[in-house]
Structure 1
Amino acid sequence: MLAVLQSIPNSPLVGFTVLLLVILIVPPIFERLRLPRLVGLLVTGILLGSNGLGILDAKSETMKLLSDVGKIYLMFVAGLEIDLAEFRKTKDRSLGFGIATFLIPLIVGSAIGLVFGFSPNASILIGSLMASHTLLGYPIVNRLGVVGNQAITVTVGATIFTDIAALLVLAICVSIHAGEFSATNLILQLVALGVYSALILFGFDWAGKEFFRRTGDEEGNQFLFVLLAVFLAAVGAQAINVDKIVGAFLAGLAVNDVVGRGPVEEKVEFVGSTLFIPFFFVGMGLLLDIPAFLISLREDLGLILAIVGGLLGAKFLAAGIAKLLYGYNWDETLTMWSLSLPQVAATLAAALVGLNAGLIPESVFNTTIVLMLVTSIAGPVMTARFASRLPLARPPADTDTVERPESSIDALFNSPVVGTYPFKVVVPIYNPITERYLVEMAALLARHESGTIVPLSIATAHIHMDEPDLEVSLQRSERLLKRAVQVSEEFGVEAEPKIRIDNDIAHGISRTARENHASLIVMGWSKAKGLRARLFGNLIDSVFWSSHCPVAVVRLLDDPVDIHQILVPVKHLLPKAVQTVRFAQLFADANQARVTLLHVYDRHTPAEQLSAFETELSQILAEPGWSVESNIVMVPGEDVAHIMLKAARSMDMVVLRSRRRRTAGGLAVSDVTTQVMKKLNCSMVLLGEPHS
C-alpha cells in the first residue's frame, strides 16, 4: 500500500484528474464571488504549484502539453468568436478605432519600457502586450440589450485588428531576438509571415467550405477537421519561426465563416471552454513564482503603476479619438473604453511566449499578471455602469414597412421559404403521455391560422428495412398517429399524419418540415442527459440548428386550453425579440389568454430611456391585427433570473427565446434563460428562430 501511495504523485493520470476536479469546482465558486473565473483558475494554479501544495508540476511533460494545447485553443477561439458579419458592416470605423486603440498603447508601452531600461525590442513587445484587448464585457452589453449600438459593434470589430497586429509584433520581436538583426532577415521574415497568413486565411477557408459541403451533416468529422486545422496552423507557424498562437488565431479567423454560428462552432467552443482553455490558466498559475511576484510588487511598483496607468490612459485616449472622428456621445465613448481595457487572451499568451523566449524578464511577466487582474475586474464593472446608460436597441427602420398578413407567424419571421405556403405545423410525437398536450397546442395555433397540422413519428432504422425492431417501431408510430388525428378532429383541424424512417431523429424532423413547407415545428421538451448530450447536444439543439422554420419547444404542465396567463420577458426590441412577443400574442389570441411583458432594467437606467422603451412596447402591442389583452411590467434589479421566476409564479406559461452561450476570452458565461428553465414551475415555450 505504501508503494502505491508513493507512486501516485508521479502518475500523469493523477495530475489530469486533479485538473478536471479544479475546473469543475473552482470557476463556479469565483463566479458566485463576482470574480472572473480565470482568476479562480490562476489562484488554484498557485495553490497547487511549487509555492503551495506541490501537487502539480509546471515543468512536467503532461502539464506542458495541456498548457500548450490550452494556449493554442484560447487564441483559436478568440479568432473564431469574432463576428465577421458585424465587422463588415462597420469595417472602416472598426479599422479606424482598431488602429487608434493599438498604436497609442503600443507607443505608450514602448516608451515605458525604454524609460525603465529595457531594450528597444523588449520595449516594443511590452507595448504590444498593452495593445490588444479581450471582450470580457461582451456578455454584459448583450444582457443589457445594447449590442446593436454602433460604438459597441465598432469595438468588437476593432478586436480583429488589435489581436492580429499584436501577434504580428510578437512574431517579429521573437524572431529578432532569436537571431542577428538585419534588414534582410526582417524582410524575409515578413514575407514568410505574409505568405503563411494568406495560405491560412484563404487556403483553410476554401478547404473548410469544400469539406463541409462534401460531408453534409457529419458533425463529428467536421469537428475533427476544425481541430486538425487549428493544430496544423500552429505547427505551420513554428515551421516559419513564428509562435504557434499566431497560427491558432489566424486559423480561427479562417474557419470563422465556414462553421458560422452553427452546431460545430458550439461544440468547438464548448470543448475548449470546458477542458483545454482552463488548463492554460491553471498552468499560468503554476508558473507564477509567488516570492518573485511579491518582490516585483515591492521593487517594481513603479513599473506596475506605469504600465497599468499607461494602459488606462492610452485606451481612453483612443476612445476619445473615436469620439471626435465618429461623433459618439460620452456614454458610448466610455463604453468603448471599458470594453477595450481587459487584457487576457492575447496578452497572457504573448507574455508567456516572451518569457519563455527570454525576451522579457520575470518582472514584466508578473506585471502582466497584475495588469490582467486589474483590467479583467475593472473593465466589466465599468462596462456594466456605462453601457446601462446607452439607449436600448431598436428594430431597424425598415421592419415596420414589411407587409404582414394578419397575425400569421410566417410573416413574423419574414422567411422566404415559409411565407409563401399555407400555415402548417409539424408535431413530432414519441411519448404517449405528452402527445395530447403537444397536438392540442399545435391544433390551437393551426385553427387560428386556418391551417393544418402534420403529426410526425420517426421510426429509426439504418440499413436493413426488414429488421424486427423496425416493424415494432412502425406499429407503435401508427398507434401514436391515430391518437393525434383524433385530437386534431376534436379541434376541427385537418391532420396529415406522417411516418418517416430515418437513422437520425433530428434530421428526420427537420427534413419532413422542409418537405411539407412547414411554418412551425412544435416539439416536446427533453433534457440533456449523459456526457454525449452535453458534448454534442441533444435532440432539441440539433433541430434548432437544422430547421428552416421556427421551432417551439414546449413543456406543458397544464392542458393548453387552460393556459390564460402568459409571461414574456423582453430585454430589448430587436426584431428577434419582437418575434417572441408575436408568438405569445398568436397563442393568446387563439386561446383567449392575457400576455404580460416583463422588462428587467438596470437601476442606473435614465427615466427618459425607460419611458421611451415602454412607449415602444405599447406601440408593438397596439399594432393592427393584434387585439390581445396585455400589460407591461417594468422591474429594476440585477438578478434577472430571480425576478423572472418570481413573476412566473402567478403565470400559466412563460415564453422564452432560445439563446446560445457566448464565451468571453474562451470561458463560458452564465445564461439567464438556462437558469430560469431549470427552476420554472409552470408551462414553458422555448422559441427558436431559423438558424439562417
Structure 2
Amino acid sequence: MESISEVLEQPIVPFAILLVVILTVPMLFERWLRLPGLVGLLAAGVVLGPNGLKLLETESETMNLLSDIGLVYLMFVAGLEVDIEQFRKTKNRSIGFGTYTFLIPLIMGTIVGRTVGQFDWNASILIGSLFASHTLLAYPIISRLGVVGNEAVTVTIGATIFTDVGALLVLAVCVGIHAGDFTPTKLFTLLASLIVYSAVVLFGFDWAGKHFFRRSGNDQGNQFLFVLLALFLASLGAQLIGVEKIVGAFLAGLAVNDVLGEGPVKEKVLFVGSVLFIPIFFVDMGLLINIPAFIKTLSSVGLTLAIVAGLIGSKFLAALFAKLTYRYNWREMLTMWSLSLPQVAATLAATLVGYRALNPAGERLLTEGVLNSVLVLMLVTATLGPLITSRVAPGLSVPETEAIATNTTGLDGIPASPDQPFTVVVPVYNPETERNLMEMAALLARHEAGRIVPLAITTAHAHMDAPQLEGAFQQGEMLLERATGLAVELGVTAVPLLRLDDNVAQGISRASREQKASLIVMGWGRRTGLRARLFGNVIDSVLWSSHCPVAVTRLQGPPSQIRRILVPVENLTGQAIQPLRFAQILAEANQAQVTLLNVCNSRTTPAKIAWNQSQLSLLVSKWAPGSNNINVEIIKNDNVAQGILNASKSVDLIVLRSLRRRTAGGLEISDVTTQLVQQLNCSVVLLGEPQRTQTGVVLPRTSSVSMPRISI
C-alpha cells in the first residue's frame, strides 16, 4: 500500500487540483466578488503556485503539458471565432482598418519599449506587436443588440484576421532573432517557409476537412478528432519551420473555420476548450506571477502606465483614422475603438512565448515586468472595452435590408403561396405530449391557412433484424394514426410521414427540408446538463441543422387555453422579431394578448422609460402592423431574471429567444436564461432560429437547448 506522500507525488494530483479550481473559483469570483472568472483563475495560480502554497509547479510535466495544450487551444479558438464571411463582405475596408489598428499600436508599443522600458529594438518591436492584436471580447454585446450588420462593426470583425496574423508573424521573427545567429538569409528563409506553410495549412486543411466531413457523414466523434488532429499537426508544423506553435494553432483555426461552420462539432470543440484547457492556461499564467516582483513592477508604475495608456491611445487613434477615411460617425468610431481595445487571447499567448524565449546567454526576450504589465493591461482593457461597447453600440444603425417585414411572410421570412403553404412539422414520439404539440401546431397552421406534417422517425442500423425493424415501424404507424386523428379533430390538414433513418435528429432535419417546412414544433427533452453538452441530444442537433425556426415547447396545459403571452426583449431589432411574430400569430389564432416586456435598471429616469416605450411601440407598429393585441411594458428591476419571473406570474406562456453568447477566447459569459427555465411555472416556448443561408434573410444561429440562452 502506497503512502500518502507517494500518492501526492503522482502526476494525477495536480490535474485533480486543477479540476477543483476550474469548477469552483470562477463561480465564486463571478457570483460573490462580481469579478471576471479569469481573474479568479489567475489568483488561484498565484495562491497555489511556487510563491504560495506550492501545490502546483509550473515546471512539472503535468502543468507543462496541460498549459501548452491550453495555449495552442486558446489561439485555435481565436481563429475559429473569426467570422470569415464578415471579412469577405468588407475585405477592403477591413484591411484598411486592420492596417491602421496594427501599425499605429505597433509604432506606439515600440516607442514605449525603447523610451520607457529601455529595451533593445527586438524586444521593443515585440512589445509593439502585443499592442497590435486584439480580442473581440465585446462581440456578444454587439450580437445581442442586433447591430452586427453595421458596416463599422463588420469592418472591425474582419480586421481581426489582419491584426492577429500580423502580430504572430512579428512574434515569430522576433523570437528567431532573439535565439541568436539570425542572418538576413535566415530571415528570408523563415519568411518564405512561413508563406509556404501558411498556404499548406489554410488551403490543405480546408480541402482535407471538407472531404473528411463529407465522407464521415454524421459521425461527430471522428469529426471532433479530425479537428483536434488538425490543431496539433499545424502546431507541430510551425515548430518544424522554426516559429512558435501558437502561429500554427491560429492558422489551423482559420483553416477549419469554413469546414466546421456553426454546427454541433464546433460547439463541442469550444466547450472542451472553455471548460478545461483554456482555464488551465490561465491558472498557469498565475503560477508565473511572483507577488513581490509584481508589487515592485506596479510600484514603479512608469512601464505599466505607459503600456496601458499607449495601448488605449493608439487604438483610439487607429479608430479615428478609420473614421476620417471611411466617413463613419462618432458612435461608429467609438464602437470600433471599444471592440479593438481588449487584449486577451493573442496578446497573452504572445507575451508568454516572449517571456519563455531565451537566447544562448539565458536572457529572456520579455522581462517579468512586461509580463506583469500585460496582465494589468488585460484586466483594464477586458473591463473597459465591453463597458464602452455597451454604452455606445445601442445607437448604431443597421441597413434596412437587415429588417424583416413580417406582415406578408411566415416565420421563416418566406412568403406563403399555393405551391408552398405554411407547413408545421411535428415530430411525434411521446404519446403523453403528442396532443398538446399537435394542438399548438394546429393553432398556427389554421391561422396561416397551412398544414401539419406529423413525423415519426424509425431508427435503423446495419445489424438490426427484421422483427425489430417491423416493431419500430408499427410503433411509428400507431403514433401517426393518433396524430392524424387529432388533426381531424382540430380541423386542420395533416400529411403524416413515416421516415426510416439512422439518426433521429438528421431524419427530422431532412424531412423538414423535403417538406419545405416553415416551422418545427418539438417537445422539451429532459436530457440536460454536462452530458448533453458533451454528447448532444436530438433537440440540439435539430437546432443546429434546421433551415427553419424550431419551437421547443414545455406546455403546462392545452395551448387553446393560452390567453396571455409574454415576450421579453432588450432591443426590438430584426434579430429579435421572430419571437414577437410567433407570439402574434399564436395570439391572433387564440384571441390572446401579447405583452412585450423590457426590463431596465432602477436608475432609469421616467423620461428615459417613456422614450424607450415610445420607440418600442413605433417598432411594433412598423414590424407587426395591425398588432392591436400587443402591449409594450417596461419595468424597473436590477435583477433582469427576477423582473421577468415576476411578470410571468400573470401570464400563460412566455416566448424566449435562444441565443449563444461566447467570447473570442472561448469562455462563456453568464445570462439569465438558465435561471428562468428552472423557475418558470407557466408554459414556455424557446424559439430557436434557423441557420443563415445564402438564399434568404434568416436570423442568427441558436444555442443548445440543454443550456438555453435568451436575449433580453
| Shorter-normalised TM range | over 0.9
Which residue number corresponds to residue 710 of structure 2?
none
Code of the aligned partner of 2:217: G
> Residues 393-449 of structure 1, C-alpha deviation per residue, up to 9 Å, x if partnerless?
57527755xxx7x7652xx42359999422322211222221111111112222223
**What is the CA–CA distance in structure 2 between the aligned matches of 1:146 and 1:408, rounded to whole Å?**
23
Give 1:160-239 correspondences, 5 Å limit: 160-239=161-240
| Alpha-carbon contact 2:87-2:154 (below 8 Å) kept | yes
The AA in structure 2 aligned to 1:396 is T
Partner of 1:614: 616
Spell out the pairing of 1:643-658 with structure 2 (5 A cutoff): 643-658=643-658
3-state secondary structure, aligned to 1:633: strand
Q: Matches of 2:551 and 2:209 in 1, distance apart? A: 32
Change (3 A) 1:664 1:120: same
Map residues 292-371 of structure 1 onto 2, 5 A cutoff. 292-298=293-299, 300-357=300-357, 358-371=364-377
Alignment deviations for residues 455-500 of structure 1 (CA, whole Å, 9 cap, x no partner): 2222333124535544444443333333222221211123233333
Q: Report if the CA contact (8 A) 1:656-1:685 is conserved.
A: yes
SS of corresponding position for 2:461: coil
Distance 2:415 2:617 in 1: 31
Decide whether the 8 Å contact of 1:204 with 1:229 is kept in 2.
Answer: yes
The one-character-per-residue Cα deviations of 1:620-677 (angstroms, maximum 9, x if unpaired) are 3552xx5551111234565433332222221111112221232342211224434433
Map of 2:703 onto structure 1: none
Residues in 2 aligned to 1:572 and 1:351: alpha-carbon distance in whole angstroms? 39
Which of 88-97 and 260-269 deviates more? 88-97
Counterpart of 1:634 in 2: which secondary structure?
strand
**Aligned pairs for 1:5-404 within 5 A:** 5-32=4-31, 33-115=33-115, 116-298=117-299, 300-357=300-357, 358-388=364-394, 390-391=395-396, 393=398, 395-396=400-401, 399-400=404-405
Structural mapping, 1:453-492, within 5 Å: 453-466=452-465, 468-492=467-491
Cα 1:536–1:567, aligned 2, differ >3 Å: closer, same or farther?
same
Q: Deviations over 1:476-527 (max 9, x none)?
A: 3333333222221211123233333333211122222233333321110013
CA gap of 1:229–1:417, structure 2 versus 1, over 3 A, is farther
Deviation string 1:33-82 (CA, Å, 9 cap, x unpaired) is 33222111111111111111111111111110100000000001001101
Secondary structure in 2 aligned to 1:654?
strand
* Letter aligned with residue 612 of structure 2: L
* Matched residue type, 1:444: L
Q: Match of 2:389, as an amino acid?
A: T
- Code of the aligned partner of 2:481: K
Query: Identical aligned pairs, as a percentage?
Result: 61
CA contact (8 A) 1:87 1:157 kept: yes
Q: Which amino acid aligns with 1:505?
A: V
The total of aligned residue pairs comes to: 681
Secondary structure of the residue aligned to 1:170 is helix
Residue 434 (str. 1) matches residue 436 (str. 2): no
Call closer, same or farther: CA 1:638–1:393 in 2, change over 3 Å. farther
- Is 2:580 the partner of 1:581? yes
Change (3 A) 1:396 1:644: farther
Contact persistence 1:567–1:653 (CA under 8 A): yes
Amino acid at match of 1:282: V
- Structure 2 distance, partners of 1:514, 1:145, is 27
After alignment, is 341-350 or 528-537 more displaced? 528-537
Q: Which residue type is aligned with residue 610 of structure 1?
A: N
Structure 1 contact 394–572 (Cα < 8 Å) conserved = no
The answer to whether the 8 A contact 2:455-2:498 is kept is yes
Deviates more, 1:74-83 or 1:310-319: 310-319
CA shift digits 1:149-182 (9 cap, x unpaired): 3322222222211111111100010011113232
Rounded to whole Å, the distance in 2 between the matches of 1:530 and 1:144 is 27
| Structure 1 residues 330 and 452, CA gap change in structure 2 (3 angstroms) | closer
**Judging changes above 3 Å, is the alpha-carbon distance between structure 1 residues 515 and 144 closer, same or farther for their aligned structure 2 residues?**
closer
Q: Which moved more, 1:664-673 or 1:40-49?
A: 664-673
Partner SS, residue 18 of structure 2: helix
Report the equivalent of 1:506: 505
CA distance in 2 between partners of 1:270 and 1:385 (Å): 29
Query: Cα–Cα, structure 1 residues 420 and 162, in superposed 2: closer, same or farther, change >3 Å?
Result: farther
Q: 1:396 to 1:185 in 2, by over 3 A?
A: same
SS in 2 for 1:667: coil
Pick which of 99-108 and 390-399 moved more.
390-399
Preserved contact between residue 70 and residue 273 of structure 2 (Cα < 8 Å): yes
Structure 1 residues 416 and 565: CA distance shift in structure 2, 3 A: closer
The two structures, once aligned, show a CA RMSD in angstroms of 2.5
Structure 1 residues 585 and 628, CA, compared in 2 at 3 Å: closer, same or farther?
farther
From the superposition, tell whether residues 336 and 673 of structure 1 become closer, same or farther in structure 2 (CA, over 3 Å): same
CA–CA distance in structure 1, aligned partners of residues 588 and 27 of structure 2 = 42
Distance in 1 of aligned mates of 2:682 and 2:399: 30
2:243, 2:419 → 1: CA distance?
A: 54
Which AA in structure 1 matches 2:331?
D
User: Is the partner of 2:521 in helix, strand or coil?
Assistant: strand
CA contact under 8 A between 2:412 and 2:518: conserved in structure 1? no
Summarize the Cα distance change of 1:417–1:68 in structure 2 as closer, same or farther, 3 Å threshold: farther
Aligned partners of 1:598 and 1:633 also within 8 Å = yes
SS at match of 1:490: helix
Task: Point out the more displaced range, 230-239 or 527-536.
Answer: 527-536
Displacement of 1:387: 2.9
SS at match of 2:493: coil
- CA distance in structure 2 between the partners assigned to 1:172 and 1:609 by the alignment: 55
Structure 1 residue runs of 5 or longer lacking an equivalent are none
The one-letter code of the counterpart of 2:634 is M
Report the Cα distance in structure 1 between the residues aligned to 2:408 and 2:43, rounded to whole angstroms: 55
* Pair 119,408 (structure 1): closer, same or farther in 2 beyond 3 Å: closer
- Separation in 1, partners of 2:339, 2:600: 20
Residue 381 of structure 1: how far off its partner (Å)? 2.6
Decide which moves more: 575-584 or 65-74.
575-584
Aligned residues of 2:409 and 2:416 also touching (Cα < 8 A): no
Contact (CA 8 Å) 2:509, 2:546: kept in 1 or not? yes
Contact 1:567 1:648 in 2 (8 A): yes
Q: What's the TM-score, normalizing by structure 1?
A: 0.93
Range that drifts further, 430-439 or 413-422: 413-422
Q: CA deviation at 1:209?
A: 1.7
Separation in 2 of the partners of 1:594 and 1:43? 51
- Report the AA paired with residue 118 of structure 2: G
